[in-house]
Structure 1
Amino acid sequence: MQEDYIKWYSPNLSADFEMLTFGHGGYPIVLFPTSKGRYYENKDFKLIESAGHLIDEGKVKIYCPDGIDALSWYNKSIHPADRVKNHIWYDKMLLEEVAGRARCETGFDKIITAGCSFGGYHAANFAFRHPWLVSHLFSMSGAFDLRGQMDGFYNGDFYYNNPIDFLPNDHSTELWDMKVVLGTTDRDICRHDNERLSEILSRKGMNHWLDIRHNADHDWVIWRQMFPEYLGQL
């Protein structure tokens, strides 16, 4: 499997940024880490290995960007409004620097977003904010309502980065072209978030799959089963 480490100075974040990529071609997939996770987390927990055959066959090329949750949503040392602002810079960096690179390298017009747990939030938030750019969303045990990270604070910036809030009122036509999979389990701490998002998508008439696995937890074991199965639909 081809693996490449990339480091560059991000003008959007005003800092160096790191990323791992896996594969030599195919559908470009931006795969996010979990809460406060790093760019190598999905490799360390063998999520990349679970899709190794698809990577080797050239069906997918996976981009694993670093996360900045410790500077944004989980940064209790700054005001909640600044936590959101830091995330907005991250979103801008993903849009201009990561997605742009993925499209250029693979030749695809659109990307796929994916992630587990809090990575599922990042995958969904980016996809729903930029539906013209995302063809598929694969979330595994994602969380989609971040009010708990805001200490009771709420403003417009937060609204547009909290999918449970902004998606019901978003009528971008590209949303209905997106293929969405919401993976969860019967014992998942994020099951309610997935069922709630599924209800929103259903009310909007958006075709999607709410995949509830049984006898499973919020854990890498089930995510390693889900990920290659979802990619197999491409």
Structure 2
Amino acid sequence: MSLGAIRYGHWGRPVLVFPSEAGRAEDFAANGMVGAVQGLVDAGRVSFFCVDSADRWTWSDNGKPTEDRAHGHQVYTAWLEQAVIPWINDELGGEHHDLATLGVSMGAYHAVHFSLTHAHLAPLAIGLSGNYDVTTWHGWGEQGDATYFANPTAYISGMQGEHLAWLRSHVSVLLVVGQGPFEYEPTGSLPSSTAFAELLAHKGIPHQLDLWGSDSAHDWPWWQRQLAHHLPRFC
């Protein structure tokens, strides 16, 4: 499994960007997302640190049972922790604790999951058209701890006590989803985003749900608009 990363921007708030399902680091710029906020980049308000996905070996490999895919995701998380975060810190000239995460489609899951499990590093997550329940991804086989702790819908449901209190004071989640083509079927993004927002509200975790209209599709042109709408207030 060979993975890479690319930086866009020279200064500003660092944003760790996850691509759509099985995507590559260069997809973010190639699909107009950097261009959609080029003014923020040129003004030194934001730097994007874009990474490859490992979905082809993990969540997108339907030949593996869900638990095995979740174990593969643990390897990907270790790469983020041991290689990507140190690279970002090196690029920034020292440890940085104001990292935001961002992703579209399956990348939204990665962004939100990483911030919820690494809020000390990435206190803000922006998920565009995400599905936050990994058990809905054509899974099979028995599910154990690896699946549970990779599934925001599961571990947030079970969270309580001091850990929940700490998370409430350290993280904020923005969920954006349209009500147009492919946001309901086959992605499940619309029902998952609304259900996950309800769960975050029930647990008292700071969040915002922004529902776009019936013309807003599960596609790059809409994600460009959503990013341009929301990102300026965070950087």
The reply to whether TM is greater than 0.5 is: yes
Deviation sequence 1:10-45 (CA, Å, 0-9, x none) = xxxxx5421111011211101101111111111111
Amino acid at match of 1:160: F
The residue number in structure 2 matching 1:213 is 212
The residue number in structure 1 matching 2:171 is 178
Q: Which moves more between the two structures, 57-66 or 98-107?
A: 98-107
The residue number in structure 2 matching 1:28 is 14
Amino acid at match of 2:170: D
Shift of residue 82, structure 1, vs aligned partner: 2.3
The residue number in structure 2 matching 1:166 is 155
In structure 2, relative to structure 1, the CA distance for the partners of 1:80 and 1:178 (3 Å cut) is closer
User: Is the contact between residue 112 and residue 173 of structure 2 (CA under 8 Å) also seen in structure 1?
Assistant: no
Q: Which moves more between the two structures, 57-66 or 71-80?
A: 71-80
The residue number in structure 2 matching 1:3 is none
The residue number in structure 1 matching 2:75 is 89
SS in 1 for 2:126: strand
Shift of residue 99, structure 1, vs aligned partner: 1.9
The residue number in structure 1 matching 2:123 is 135
Identical-residue share of aligned pairs (%)? 25
Shift of residue 152, structure 1, vs aligned partner: 4.2
Whether 1:155 and 2:154 are equivalent positions in the alignment is: no
Amino acid at match of 1:148: T
Shift of residue 55, structure 1, vs aligned partner: 1.1
The CA distance in 2 between the partners of 1:90 and 1:71, in whole Å, is 10
Unaligned runs of 5+ in 1: 1-14
Amino acid at match of 2:231: L
The residue number in structure 2 matching 1:8 is none
Count of matched residue positions in the alignment of Structure 1 and Structure 2:
220
Whether 1:114 and 2:102 are equivalent positions in the alignment is: yes
The CA distance in 2 between the partners of 1:186 and 1:57, in whole Å, is 33
Give the structure-2-normalised TM-score.
0.88
User: Is the contact between residue 18 and residue 39 of structure 1 (CA under 8 Å) also seen in structure 2?
Assistant: yes
Flag as ranges the 4+ runs of structure 1 deviating above 4 A.
none
The CA distance in 2 between the partners of 1:218 and 1:144, in whole Å, is 15
The CA distance in 2 between the partners of 1:69 and 1:226, in whole Å, is 24
Higher RCO (CA 8 Å, separation ≥ 6 residues): 2
User: Is the contact between residue 23 and residue 55 of structure 1 (CA under 8 Å) also seen in structure 2?
Assistant: yes
The CA distance in 2 between the partners of 1:101 and 1:175, in whole Å, is 28
Q: Which moves more between the two structures, 75-84 or 164-173?
A: 75-84
The CA distance in 2 between the partners of 1:211 and 1:99, in whole Å, is 29
Shift of residue 136, structure 1, vs aligned partner: 0.9
The CA distance in 1 between the partners of 2:114 and 2:168, in whole Å, is 12
The residue number in structure 2 matching 1:223 is 223
The CA distance in 1 between the partners of 2:61 and 2:221, in whole Å, is 29
User: Is the contact between residue 103 and residue 111 of structure 1 (CA under 8 Å) also seen in structure 2?
Assistant: no
Q: Which moves more between the two structures, 95-104 or 180-189?
A: 95-104
SS in 2 for 1:232: helix
User: Is the contact between residue 72 and residue 84 of structure 1 (CA under 8 Å) also seen in structure 2?
Assistant: yes
User: Is the contact between residue 138 and residue 230 of structure 1 (CA under 8 Å) also seen in structure 2?
Assistant: no
